[in-house]
Amino acid sequence: MDLPKAYIPKEYEDKIYKKWEDSGYCNPDNLETRGQARSFTISMPPPNATGVLHVGHTLGITIQDIMARYRRMRGDKTLLLPGTDHAAIATQNVVEKMLKKEGTSRHKLGREKFLELTKNYVEKNKSTINNQTRKMGASCDWSREAYTLSDKLSRVVSMQFKQMYDDGLIYQGTRIVNWCPRCCSTLADDEVEYKEQSAKLYTFKYSNVFPLAIATTRPETKLGDTAVAVNPNDKRYQKYIGKTYQVDFVGVPLKLKVIAENEINPEFGTGAVGVTPAHSFADSLMAEKNNLEVKKVIGQDGKILAGFGKYSNLKTKEAREKIIEKLKSDGLLENQADIKNNLSICYRCHTEIEPLPSLQWFVAMNKEFALKNPALIKKYGKKETTLKEISLWAVKSGEIKIIPEYFAKTYFHWMENLRDWCISRQLWFGHRIPAWYKNNEIYVGSDKPKNSGWVQDEDTLDTWFSSALWTWSTLLERKNFEKFNDLKEWVKNSPDIKNFHPTSVMETMHDILFFWVARMIIMTLYSLNEVPFKTVYLHGMVCDEHGKKMSKSRPETCIEPIEMSQKYGTDALRLSMVLSNAAGNSTRLSEQKIAGFRNFANKLWNIGRFIQLSTNNKQLTTNDKLTTDSCESSVVSCKTLADKWITSRINNLIKEVTDDLENFRFGLAGEKLYDFTWHELADWYVEIAKIPPYGGSAEVGQNSYKILIFIYKTLLKLVHPFAPFVTEKIWEYFGNGDLLIIEKWPQTDEKKITGQAEQDFELIKELITAIRSWRKENKKEPKEILKIQIAAPDKLVGSQKEIIDKLAKVDLEIVEKLVDKDLEIGNLKIKF
RNA sequence: GGACGAUUAGCUCAGUUGGCUAGAGCAUCUCGUUUACACCGAGGAGGUCGUAGGUUCAAGUCCUACAUCGUCCACCA
């Protein structure tokens, strides 16, 4: 069958994907007969089940798929494992918004009904996401598809919780937490965002009996002050340190102790700070040190609690205004200044955060526990460690390598300053905390207690708790998983864990390094006593053509991957994101860029078309056509300089591309393939193949087609990881037996790399280019055959007469000596 | 306030352990439909690699300072 004139991606892509999927080749179990020794695993970062794929996902999927396809072709046991994340808080927010539009709320529906609704919503999104992942060409193993809130993974989560609880690494306690009054939930430290705002800095005295004035932007929290802190070296205030005052602050009695704290900056405000242990992280530390009373002022609804007189039940801002009015009328307000400060807001709904004390569950980062895995203990050097210590060690020691390397610093900094991780959330959608209460008793377990009267904790777990287990929870045996009551037992009886863990590469965007990557390291080192992955590859942000982050709120800046795939083909989209980009760097994407790579796919296609059309009447034996895998370079013998040159070039290409892929230089590898295809193979060798006797029926001609076929087949294999659809389609057109996806990755044949041939041919290229340029400058008719004389020191130029004549449109004569010359290249003299 | 990254042709970016006469794509200009491809071919123009020093036989690449942009972290009441 003949290839059509142009490559029309949308006519082929879905069918090709179906072929891959039906072949079962993406499931490593089906390729066992090849006897691979190495395994290669990527747990694909699960997209949130809230929406559809955007270009950021496409970039990630592409890089992951390039690695997977390359490794599969190398013969490694390759697993690309797909899945979705339930994204607790994000999903609940979206569903709640939908309910609000319909005039109802989760509270009106009740927990059960709400969860059912959310489940349906998630199911719908999951199937959209999966189809889009297919559209992007991901060669993942759908038989192992996972979901963070599946029954299986939920059980893993409960078991992990129980184990950590038993080890004392999970505890319940009252601590100041970031509280979002809108979500009515806690937030982890890194789920808090900051927004600059203009604020007023009020300077006032609590009362006339208290000697010091303080400055604050939040006077309403001062209702809960139990101390005033000053710098111990501040001469103004030294005499007050240690004294306690009973004051009346806007009608509310306060007992204030003056304490000394080194952190207090005497230059700022009045140099005296009101300490509010219940509603400030910094103040709560001071309170702990100084044994201060913690007095709650603000409730979980964001309103002033009862017991504060006329301020009770007011929203914080209303209370603030009332308090300022009162201070003014009492003559206590000394100053109010406009300043800029940062407001902490919820990363999901952008509501102002209230730090407040609350009873929550935490993961202890600095508590010692014992390692059990002898291999890890040996490498680490001791048995006792903390989650923080072992996680720092994993990257410092090189057990985990981060690419680009400079992100390791960011990781260390974050890890070193990590506080205990608050994991309970007051949400409905998510993993319910596996703790039950009865009177004053508490029971923690993976199953609910047998006897009656126990009530389960109302809260759910932080969504990152379950995704932290992703690399291995997805690999645990799923058959009869309910029978396992012990996590260790389950791990031991899971062949996939043995075969595929630790995973090879974690490929994701750098913004998720803390949220997710760091937590996988923490949790996996704890439960499996091994690293979750050996390498972390971080890609950058995909920006619009002006370098701005694409954002849903500005739809005009967004490039929709599915739309682009329809228009230009998935291969073009993949190439446009990966080529000319290095790890960690953000990349700018534009439709124009994608169109450029559509042209490349078409170029590749048309080289195939040329080969097909020309070999049809070349009477090559079946063995020489593209129908076999006789792709070893030993089967071709080079007869001409051009043969030697292109064979040398492709072997160099194999070497370099392989090396680049091994070292995560995807952009560079892609560019080399692009250059070779267009500017070496198409522009030169294909053109030469058209020239008699190269393109004729003579022996040289037939041989050059054999070489062309060999080069092209090798190239298709090399390009396949980057542009899987077009290469697979061409492979199919040429009637090859099996799919390209499992073809053997080409091997470099060092003997065919010949510097001399490359150098000689470069000179011929240079000569042809120089003649063309001279023609143009001298305004020669394009079709006119020019007679030229060349004086050359050796036989090289003479031996390439046919090529030079045809490609430069000349009739070349070699002479011994030239008196005058029009052109000089190296030691060649040319006369027109 | 701290850390990290970027700064290379009009635009978007590559450039691996220093070896470069600094590359590509797009855009632009000239010419051309030659037996794959106009989603094409040929040729041209366009750069003191942010600035100032330093190391070196050799610096886009390494070091120091500065400037501009970006990202992350912390957050001072």
| CATH classification at residue A671 | 1.10.730.10
Is the Cβ atom of A586 within 7 Å of strand B at any atom?
yes
CA atom of A114 to C1′ atom of B6, Å: 47
In angstroms and rounded to an integer, the radius of gyration of the C-alpha atoms of chain A is 35
- The two tokens of residue A294 are 């913690």
Residue A76: name the closest of A658, A742, A628 by CA. A742
Q: What pLDDT is attached to residue A175?
A: 87
Contact call for residues A787 and A810 (beta carbons, < 8 A): yes
The answer to the question of residue A745 being in a domain is yes
- For residue A200, give the CATH number of its domain: 3.90.740.10
Contact call for residues A83 and A147 (beta carbons, < 8 A): yes
CA atom of A524 to C1′ atom of B22, Å: 46
Burial of A613: CB neighbours in 10 Å, binned 0-12, 13-18, 19+ = exposed
Residues of chain A with pLDDT > 70: what percent? Answer: 95
The answer to the question of residue A715 being in a domain is yes
Rounded Cα distance, A443 and A535, in Å: 39
CA atom of A393 to C1′ atom of B77, Å: 36
Within A 702-761, residues with CB less than 7 Å from strand B: none
Contact call for residues A739 and A690 (beta carbons, < 8 A): no
Rounded Cα distance, A583 and A48, in Å: 23
Rounded Cα distance, A694 and A698, in Å: 8
pLDDT for residue A300 is more than 60 = yes
Strands of the A455-456 sheet, one edge to the other: A441-444, A435-438, A455-456
Give how far the C-alpha of residue A685 lies from the chain's centroid of Cα atoms, to the nearest Å. 39
User: Do A259 and A288 have their domain in common?
Assistant: yes
pLDDT digits (tens, 9 = 90+) for A90-117: 899 889 989 999 999 999 999 999 999 9
Rounded Cα distance, A65 and A722, in Å: 8
Q: What contacts A683, CB < 8 A, 6 or more positions away?
A: none
pLDDT digits (tens, 9 = 90+) for A455-485: 999 999 999 999 999 999 999 999 999 999 8
φ, ψ for residue A60, nearest 5 deg? -60, -50
pLDDT digits (tens, 9 = 90+) for A392-427: 999 999 999 999 888 898 899 899 888 899 999 999
Within A 338-357, residues with CB less than 7 Å from strand B: 339, 341-342
Q: What pLDDT is attached to residue A36?
A: 55
Is the Cβ atom of A416 within 7 Å of strand B at any atom?
no
pLDDT digits (tens, 9 = 90+) for A549-596: 776 666 777 889 999 999 999 999 999 999 878 888 888 888 889 999
Highest-confidence segment of A6-15, A269-278, A815-824: A6-15
The answer to the question of residue A558 being in a domain is no
User: Do A680 and A794 have their domain in common?
Assistant: no
The answer to the question of residue A75 being in a domain is no
pLDDT band at A617 (very low <50, low <70, confident <90, very high): low
Measuring from the CA of residue A589 to each C1', which nucleotide is nearest? B12
Q: What pLDDT is attached to residue A769?
A: 93
User: Do A257 and A325 have their domain in common?
Assistant: yes
Angle at A216 between CA A243 and CA A262, to 5 degrees: 50
Is the Cβ atom of A511 within 7 Å of strand B at any atom?
yes
- The two tokens of residue A212 are 């010091």
CA atom of A193 to C1′ atom of B10, Å: 39
* Mean pLDDT computed over A301-323: 93
Rounded Cα distance, A354 and A823, in Å: 79
* Mean pLDDT computed over A159-167: 97
Tell me the angle at which helices A699-719 and A591-615 cross, rounded to the nearest 10 degrees: 150
Q: By residue range, what is the domain housing residue A825?
A: 775-831
Rounded Cα distance, A244 and A272, in Å: 15
Which nucleotides along chain B are within 7 A of a protein C-beta? Answer: 3-6, 11-16, 23-26, 30-33, 35-44, 70-77
Q: Structural domain tally of chain A?
A: 3
CA atom of A285 to C1′ atom of B40, Å: 71
The answer to the question of residue A550 being in a domain is no
Residue A378: name the closest of A401, A400, A399 by CA. A399
* Mean pLDDT computed over A150-159: 97
User: Do A355 and A208 have their domain in common?
Assistant: yes
Whole-angstrom CA distances from A747 to A572, A631, A647, A705, A741 are 26, 10, 13, 21, 16
- For residue A781, give the CATH number of its domain: 3.30.1170
Whole-angstrom CA distances from A611 to A86, A608, A716, A827 are 50, 5, 13, 37
A411: left (phi over 0), alpha (psi -120 to 50) or beta: alpha
Is the Cβ atom of A667 within 7 Å of strand B at any atom?
yes
User: Do A722 and A803 have their domain in common?
Assistant: no
pLDDT for residue A494 is more than 90 = yes
Residue A333: name the closest of A217, A489, A213, A248 by CA. A213
CA atom of A565 to C1′ atom of B37, Å: 21
Angle at A210 between CA A209 and CA A213, to 5 degrees: 135
Strand, helix or coil for residue A85: strand
Q: What pLDDT is attached to residue A409?
A: 87
Q: What pLDDT is attached to residue A623?
A: 46
Q: What pLDDT is attached to residue A633?
A: 56
Whole-angstrom CA distances from A43 to A84, A470, A664 are 11, 7, 17
The answer to the question of residue A826 being in a domain is yes
Q: What pLDDT is attached to residue A793?
A: 83
User: Do A742 and A794 have their domain in common?
Assistant: no
Burial of A259: CB neighbours in 10 Å, binned 0-12, 13-18, 19+ = buried
As a residue count, chain A comes to 832
Whole-angstrom CA distances from A440 to A437, A452, A645 are 7, 15, 83
| Pairing relationship of beta strands A460-461 and A424-425 according to DSSP bridges | antiparallel
The answer to the question of residue A815 being in a domain is yes
Among all protein residues, pick the one whose CA is nearest to the C1' atom of B30: A776
| Least trusted range by pLDDT, from A34-38, A327-331, A367-371 | A34-38
Among all protein residues, pick the one whose CA is nearest to the C1' atom of B73: A414
User: Do A249 and A299 have their domain in common?
Assistant: yes
Measuring from the CA of residue A656 to each C1', which nucleotide is nearest? B16
Q: What pLDDT is attached to residue A634?
A: 58
Classify each residue of A82-117 as buried b or exposed e, where b means 16 or more C-beta atoms within 10 Å of its C-beta. bbbbbbbbbbbbbbbeebeeeeeebeeeeeeebbeb
Final residue in a domain of this structure, among A325, A359, A393: A359
Is the Cβ atom of A405 within 7 Å of strand B at any atom?
no
Rounded Cα distance, A654 and A659, in Å: 8
DSSP string, A635-688: G----SHHHHHHHHHHHHHHHHHHHHHHTT-HHHHHHHHHHIIIIIIIIIIIHH
The answer to the question of residue A110 being in a domain is no
Is the Cβ atom of A7 within 7 Å of strand B at any atom?
yes
CA atom of A660 to C1′ atom of B5, Å: 23
User: Do A799 and A696 have their domain in common?
Assistant: no
Q: Tell me, what DSSP letter sits at residue A38? A: -
Q: What pLDDT is attached to residue A629?
A: 44
User: Do A693 and A816 have their domain in common?
Assistant: no
pLDDT for residue A33 is more than 60 = no
Contact call for residues A818 and A791 (beta carbons, < 8 A): yes
pLDDT for residue A246 is more than 80 = yes
φ, ψ for residue A195, nearest 5 deg? -135, 130
Contact call for residues A54 and A713 (beta carbons, < 8 A): no
Q: Output A776 or A826, whichever has higher pLDDT.
A: A776
pLDDT digits (tens, 9 = 90+) for A186-195: 887 777 887 7
User: Do A805 and A740 have their domain in common?
Assistant: no
pLDDT digits (tens, 9 = 90+) for A788-832: 999 988 899 999 999 999 999 999 999 988 888 888 887 788 888
Within A 280-339, residues with CB less than 7 Å from strand B: 280-282, 339
Q: How many helices (H) and strands (E) does chain A have?
A: 27, 31
Measuring from the CA of residue A779 to each C1', which nucleotide is nearest? B31
Contact call for residues A551 and A541 (beta carbons, < 8 A): no
- In this prediction the pTM is 0.92
Is the Cβ atom of A232 within 7 Å of strand B at any atom?
no
Partnered with residue A245 across adjacent β-strands are A256
Q: Output A626 or A781, whichever has higher pLDDT.
A: A781
Measuring from the CA of residue A609 to each C1', which nucleotide is nearest? B36
pLDDT for residue A635 is more than 80 = no
CA atom of A409 to C1′ atom of B45, Å: 45
User: Do A626 and A743 have their domain in common?
Assistant: yes
Measuring from the CA of residue A774 to each C1', which nucleotide is nearest? B43
User: Do A753 and A788 have their domain in common?
Assistant: no
Q: Is the dihedral of CA A227, A228, A233, A235 positive or negative?
A: negative
Is the Cβ atom of A677 within 7 Å of strand B at any atom?
no
Q: Output A630 or A350, whichever has higher pLDDT.
A: A350
Whole-angstrom CA distances from A251 to A224, A248, A315, A335, A523 are 13, 6, 18, 21, 50
